[in-house]
Amino acid sequence: MSKSIFDPQVIKKEFPLLERSVNDNPIVYLDSAATSQKPIEVIERMNDYYKEINANVHRGAYHIAELATEEVEETRRKVHRFINSNSEKEIIFTKNATEAINLVSYSWARSQLTDGDVILLSSLEHHSNIVPWQQLSSERDIEIRWIPITHDGQLDLDNIDELLKGVKLLCVTAVSNALGTINPVKKLVEAAHKVGALCLVDACQSTPHFETDVTDLGADFIAFSGHKMCGPTGIGVLWGRLEILENMPPFLGGGEMILNVTSDGFTANELPWKFEAGTPPIAEIIGLGVAISYLEKIGMGAIREHEQKLTSYALQMLNDRFGNDLIIHGPQNPIDRSGVLSLSYRDVHPHDLSQVLDQYGVCVRAGHHCCKPLMKLMGLNATARASLYIYNDESDIDVLADAINEAGKIFA
Amino acid sequence: MSKSIFDPQVIKKEFPLLERSVNDNPIVYLDSAATSQKPIEVIERMNDYYKEINANVHRGAYHIAELATEEVEETRRKVHRFINSNSEKEIIFTKNATEAINLVSYSWARSQLTDGDVILLSSLEHHSNIVPWQQLSSERDIEIRWIPITHDGQLDLDNIDELLKGVKLLCVTAVSNALGTINPVKKLVEAAHKVGALCLVDACQSTPHFETDVTDLGADFIAFSGHKMCGPTGIGVLWGRLEILENMPPFLGGGEMILNVTSDGFTANELPWKFEAGTPPIAEIIGLGVAISYLEKIGMGAIREHEQKLTSYALQMLNDRFGNDLIIHGPQNPIDRSGVLSLSYRDVHPHDLSQVLDQYGVCVRAGHHCCKPLMKLMGLNATARASLYIYNDESDIDVLADAINEAGKIFA
Amino acid sequence: MTGLEDLYKEVILDHYRSPRNKGELPTPPAIMEEGFNPLCGDDVKVYVILEDKVIKEIRIGGQGCSISQASASMMTESVLGKTLDEAKEVFERFKKMMSSHENDLNSAESSLDETPSSLGDLEALKGVVKYPVRIKCATLGWNTFDQIIDSVEN
Amino acid sequence: MTGLEDLYKEVILDHYRSPRNKGELPTPPAIMEEGFNPLCGDDVKVYVILEDKVIKEIRIGGQGCSISQASASMMTESVLGKTLDEAKEVFERFKKMMSSHENDLNSAESSLDETPSSLGDLEALKGVVKYPVRIKCATLGWNTFDQIIDSVEN
Ligand SMILES: Cc1ncc(COP(=O)(O)O)c(C=O)c1O
Ligand SMILES: Cc1ncc(COP(=O)(O)O)c(C=O)c1O
């Protein structure tokens, strides 16, 4: 938590990609909500894995297979501690957060929900926490209901008790990837539990930026991806409460997830392997472990503090400089938001804006950010989204502002 | 195809892991059927990805996102050419072969098969091509039927016409990972098509070792994993025939796989993205692309030739040296088998055998090799499996033989 | 500012600022198809009134970036009054120009030179091939128009 | 040959070659449970006849490697004639010896020294903690036996 160790200049140097140039300008990476950059120690540890202990896990009795297995299982324990779960058996490795959510949908929901049940979604959800439920509701007579939002993109909970009637599952993102809104997840979990519903929290945009404590949160499932939190691509996590996971049928079938197979049928393995079919993403799991250690070394509290300060700076500075020409969507108070700045600049289309920004080395994302229902509610087609992380500093925001200004000139 | 360029000594040097020692002995890696080692160029290209162009794909309009997207889609084209498919749209990236098979089971089979239908499996299948079908048959009244084997672990096709009656799907592995048996897949595809059944080929053990030509094969689906063919963990491939894939409903739902989402429902994206939900394993896809180029550079014909020669040597030498003390399961003619040597040595338990071998740096796998039904048919509980690849040579077999001999002394 | 002049040519910006044939047409008699660019959320609606397979009227609805809007606007000019077959032929030439990158991104420059020089304003979109993501923008209106041709022909 | 002496102690090989209490018992009166090691395919069957919560007879069936067979064989000797509570206590001590690695593989040596020295032959299995994969072999019989205790107690 100590501020002294947090120096974005030092941190920046640990990310090799941030040293490169784009179009003769030093890169200014502002798309961490899509995927984060990776510190050198994550990259090198995966290298070392391939060079020194690459072997398939869990079944080899030879030395390097044991080492690889040990690193995979040690990472499981690390994730368990990182999110303060009850047991390492609750940590299931998937390929990304999307698979984790689908696992809940295919295994838990399809075995538990029947015609007439209701799933409540927040209007801030990413497609990955919408489409799996729409798929289910097109198979069965399951109603999908939405928590509305206020004009500044916060959940409108005035009628939450009404909305929760008949609900069996509440799906809510901890932080909106499109607007940066931080949701009152703990409160929502409590409300859901009061009516006997379970709560699945999409933690993709919170685990990289804040402390995560599933015990305190009280949720039933959380899903997140490694690639947004300094880890590699190809690895995600589902956490679920032990007693719930234990009663769920397997999802993907195959090697690793069985205890026994005969020609007549199979017996599923114990948790967590029951849900991990096939060769796991071994190097990726190990990379995620290093990423978590890296974040813990900096301190999740310090990370949040840094991002909040930087967000305050950005809101203030961009506002001062562009006034009404630039709309920053979402909550106005930095306390209510993460480092996601979803922008509309005059009538310059976000795609054009991001193209011009790229010319100055500034990487932002243009589009619907996989949140089309939310965008529609906000009356938007697309925004240009700048999203911050540990390696960003005020100078990055300044370059962003200058580049926005240049775009204004082209599309005057 | 030219033999001159094929030199396992040179190739070995391209695999950093093969330079290490285990228990003070140079490593002799004989577990490539579980996972292969990775050439330095695969490892370094993934490094470079993370250091130079790491960005989320398909949605970013900025430079590095375009480069990453281009490499991902270029790899798709490379896979398409590598297996001689009809279109790059037929190439779907998954996390491993197991997910690829489950995709067929959840999307194709669950939308096409009904009570009374039959799925025919070969008795040589890996759990990953058994359990998904058992899961389905426990949900619906779908019969699972097995193609029997001969005593030396080859498919017994005498009654294939009888067996195919009522069959809607035939699942068969191109090569047995437990015994090395090469199956007459093309003939089986023809037989399946004659009764209107589709054929799913598990190509996990063939793509790394032989030329794969899905057009010639005529199959409907093939599944394989990157990690067994010099590629990274966390990446698999499903290939399916375009007209079949087009009519299949989506499997995993989420970002990337949609064309549009409203609060009322979603429209699926075009192929192949319809089946690729969430952030793809970007670095892993790129790594697979490099692995394929690496294999193509050596030449799939040359690889098969090398492995067949080495297998002949091993069969002969081990037989000469150990006689009846050592049983090498599976077909006796090297033409009928890949470089998989499944061994029983006296009454030394395979687990103990592999433990002693490890002491000499020799990595083999002990167990059921995820083929419990096959093992049961063969009257085996477990075997010790030595499996060969491009970087192995006769000296590796010699070390293996010496180490087996030492095990004999301990368990005399 | 270097580099973007290729993309944002004056004629493109002009079509973007003052799109031709923007609006809607009543269906029927018009045929309408809608297209999405899943990458950025843009959507386009193409309305066409045909008489004897001749494009009598055409309108563009929806929203999008300068490239998709300008390209659709130019498209309306280049196909209005043409027969479907003629329009298809323009589309083929346009597609060829846009896909030169797919063969080899690096040799894009050279293959560009081979593009037939008869696309009028549309040639201003040549520069787009250097920005693969934007090709989807430039072809969105065209692909949607193509759906109309398909629906008429089948 | 260095290194494996720790694992394949003479007493282990002896139990492997001449397993004690190998065989089956009729059920009932015996209780039987079966355990699998999913990693290597070994399975073990434990048969127990209880009288007043005292283990009157015990047999081991199934097949496995030297470690799993020897450990099960030693187990039968160490629990035969004991009450379930006493047997559980032995199991707890054995488990503790086997899990010293889980806390810290590197400090395994030191924590080994703290293991209470009252496990008899079973102490020969100490060396297994250095081979994490084999711990599953060593505990297979025990965990299966534990299922019997569970089924009796609930
Ligand atoms: C024949 C066969 N099929 C399927 C698989 C499963 O592959 P993966 O574990 O990569 O999903 C394997 C490898 O373990 C295999 O050898
Ligand atoms: C809030 C949120 N949920 C889900 C996802 C999906 O994550 P992934 O694409 O890694 O599966 C993302 C990221 O794209 C996200 O930001």
pLDDT exceeds cutoff 50 at A272? yes
- Among A297, A314, A335, give the residue marking a domain's end: A297
The band of A282, judged by pLDDT with boundaries at 50, 70 and 90, is very high
| Tally of domains in chain C | 1
Same domain, A179 and A95: yes
Same domain, B328 and B186: no
Q: Where are the alpha helices (DSSP H) in A195-262?
A: 214-217, 242-246
- Among B280, B297, B314, give the residue marking a domain's end: B297
Q: Does D13 touch chain B (CB under 8 A)?
A: yes
* A23: nearest CB among C3, C64, C134: C3
What average pLDDT is seen over chain A? 96
pLDDT digits (tens, 9 = 90+) for C25-68: 998 899 999 998 877 778 899 999 999 999 999 999 998 899 99
β-bridge mates for residue B167, sequence order:
B118
Q: What is the DSSP string of B165-224?
A: TTEEEEEEESB-TTT-BBP-HHHHHHHHHHTT-EEEEE-TTTTTTS---HHHH--SEEEE
Q: What is the CATH number of the domain that holds C74?
A: 3.90.1010.10
Distance between CA atoms of A318 and A310, rounded to whole angstroms? Answer: 12
The band of C2, judged by pLDDT with boundaries at 50, 70 and 90, is low
Distance between CA atoms of B382 and B377, rounded to whole angstroms? Answer: 12
DSSP single-letter state for residue D28: T
pLDDT digits (tens, 9 = 90+) for B274-325: 999 999 999 999 999 999 999 999 999 999 999 999 999 999 999 999 999 9
pLDDT exceeds cutoff 60 at A98? yes
pLDDT digits (tens, 9 = 90+) for B121-172: 999 999 999 999 999 999 999 999 999 999 999 999 999 999 999 999 999 9
Least distant ligand from the CA of B371: 1
- Residue A325 resides in a domain: yes
Across the B:D interface, residue pairs with CB atoms under 8 Å apart total: 49
- Residue B125 resides in a domain: yes
Same domain, A216 and A146: yes
- Among B297, B314, B341, give the residue marking a domain's end: B297
| Tally of domains in chain B | 2
Same domain, B279 and B310: no
pLDDT exceeds cutoff 90 at B8? no
Domain that holds residue A396: 8-30+299-410
* D7: nearest CB among B23, B355, B366: B355
What's the gap in Å between A374 CA and the centre of ligand 2? Answer: 15
Please tell me if the CB atom of residue A128 comes closer than 6 angstroms to any atom of ligand 2. Answer: yes
Select the residue from B40, B263, B370 to test the A interface by mutation, using most A Cβ atoms within 10 A: B263
Q: Cite the beta strand spans of A50-197 per DSSP E.
A: 91-94, 118-122, 143-147, 167-173
CB A359 within 8 A of CB B247: no
pLDDT exceeds cutoff 60 at C146? yes
Q: Which helix (H) or strand (E) holds A63?
A: helix A63-82
A279–B102 CB contact, under 8 Å = no
- Residue B35 resides in a domain: no
Least distant ligand from the CA of A340: 2
- Residue A39 resides in a domain: no
pLDDT digits (tens, 9 = 90+) for A188-242: 999 999 999 999 999 999 999 999 999 999 999 999 999 999 999 999 999 999 9
Q: Which residue of A has its CA nearest to D42?
A: A260
DSSP single-letter state for residue B146: E
- Residue D5 resides in a domain: no
What average pLDDT is seen over chain C? 85
The list of chain D residues with pLDDT below 70 reads 1-2, 101-117
Q: Please indicate whether residue C6 or residue B372 has the higher confidence score (pLDDT).
A: B372
Q: Where are the alpha helices (DSSP H) in chain D?
A: 10-17, 66-79, 84-103, 108-113, 132-153
Could you give phi then psi for residue D32, rounded to 5 degrees?
-125, 140
* D65: nearest CB among B23, B352, B410: B352
pLDDT, mean of residues A266-283: 97
Same domain, A336 and A309: yes
- Residue B75 resides in a domain: yes
CB B364 within 8 A of CB B410: no
Domain that holds residue C99: 10-153
Strand B143-147 relative to strand A167-173: parallel, antiparallel, unpaired? Answer: unpaired
Q: Does A66 touch chain D (CB under 8 A)?
A: yes
Q: What is the largest CA-CA distance in chain C?
A: 49
Distance between CA atoms of D40 and B383, rounded to whole angstroms? Answer: 9
- Residue D2 resides in a domain: no
Q: At what angle do helices D132-153 and D66-79 cross, to 10 degrees?
A: 40
pLDDT digits (tens, 9 = 90+) for A350-403: 999 999 999 999 999 999 999 999 999 999 989 999 999 999 999 999 999 999
Q: Does B349 touch chain C (CB under 8 A)?
A: no
pLDDT exceeds cutoff 80 at B193? yes
Same domain, B191 and B205: yes
- Residue C5 resides in a domain: no
pLDDT digits (tens, 9 = 90+) for A15-37: 999 999 998 999 999 999 999 99
- Residue D1 resides in a domain: no
pLDDT exceeds cutoff 80 at A335? yes
pLDDT exceeds cutoff 50 at A262? yes
Q: Quick one: tokens of A125? A: 């959800």
- For chain C, how far is it from start to end, CA to CA, in angstroms? 48
The amino acid present at A302, given as its one-letter code, is A
Q: Quick one: tokens of A390? A: 């540990």
- Residue B334 resides in a domain: yes
**Nearest to B238, CA basis, from B132, B94, B131:** B94
CA dihedral B327, B330, B332, B338 (to 10 degrees): -120
Q: Does A75 touch chain B (CB under 8 A)?
A: no
C and D adjacent (3 or more CB pairs under 8 angstroms): no
Same domain, B366 and B270: no
The band of B5, judged by pLDDT with boundaries at 50, 70 and 90, is low
The model carries a pTM of: 0.95
Residues 6+ apart with CB under 8 A from B212: B82, B83, B84, B203, B206, B222, B300
- Residue C103 resides in a domain: yes
pLDDT exceeds cutoff 80 at A405? yes
Burial status of residue C60 (CB atoms within 10 A of its CB: 0-12, 13-18, 19 or more): buried
Q: Does B243 touch chain D (CB under 8 A)?
A: no
Same domain, A154 and A266: yes
C4–A410 CB contact, under 8 Å = yes
The band of A5, judged by pLDDT with boundaries at 50, 70 and 90, is low
A370 is catalytic: yes
Residues 6+ apart with CB under 8 A from B270: B89, B259
Could you give phi then psi for residue D141, rounded to 5 degrees?
-60, -40
- Residue B38 resides in a domain: no
Least distant ligand from the CA of B125: 1
Same domain, B89 and B228: yes
Q: Which residues of A touch D42 (CB under 8 A)?
A: none
Q: Left if phi > 0, otherwise alpha if psi is -120 to 50, otherwise beta: which for B86?
A: alpha
pLDDT, mean of residues A81-92: 98
At residue B1, the pLDDT reads 41
At residue D112, the pLDDT reads 46
Half-sphere exposure of D54 (CA within 13 A, CB side): 5
Dihedral sign, Cα of residue A267, residue A273, residue A274, residue A280: negative
Distance between CA atoms of D138 and D98, rounded to whole angstroms? Answer: 8
β-bridge mates for residue B121, sequence order:
B146, B171
Same domain, A269 and A348: no
Please tell me if the CB atom of residue B126 comes closer than 6 angstroms to any atom of ligand 1. Answer: yes
Distance between CA atoms of B17 and D84, rounded to whole angstroms? Answer: 50
- Report, in angstroms and rounded to the nearest whole number, the Rg of chain D calculated over CA atoms: 15
How close, in Å, is residue A177 to chain C by CA atoms?
Answer: 15
The number of residues in chain C equals 154
DSSP-based three-state secondary structure for C113: helix
- Residue B71 resides in a domain: yes
- Residue D49 resides in a domain: yes
DSSP-based three-state secondary structure for B96: coil
Residues 6+ apart with CB under 8 A from B219: B185, B189, B199, B200, B201
- Residue D4 resides in a domain: no
pLDDT digits (tens, 9 = 90+) for B321-379: 999 999 999 999 999 999 999 999 999 999 999 999 999 999 999 999 999 999 999 99
Q: What is the CATH number of the domain that holds B406?
A: 3.90.1150.10
Same domain, B322 and B185: no
Is ipTM > 0.85 here? yes
- Residue C116 resides in a domain: yes
Distance between CA atoms of B389 and D138, rounded to whole angstroms? Answer: 33
Same domain, A59 and A189: yes
Q: What is the CATH number of the domain that holds B51?
A: 3.40.640.10
User: Among all chains, which residue has been given the structure tokens 């996990």?
Assistant: B204
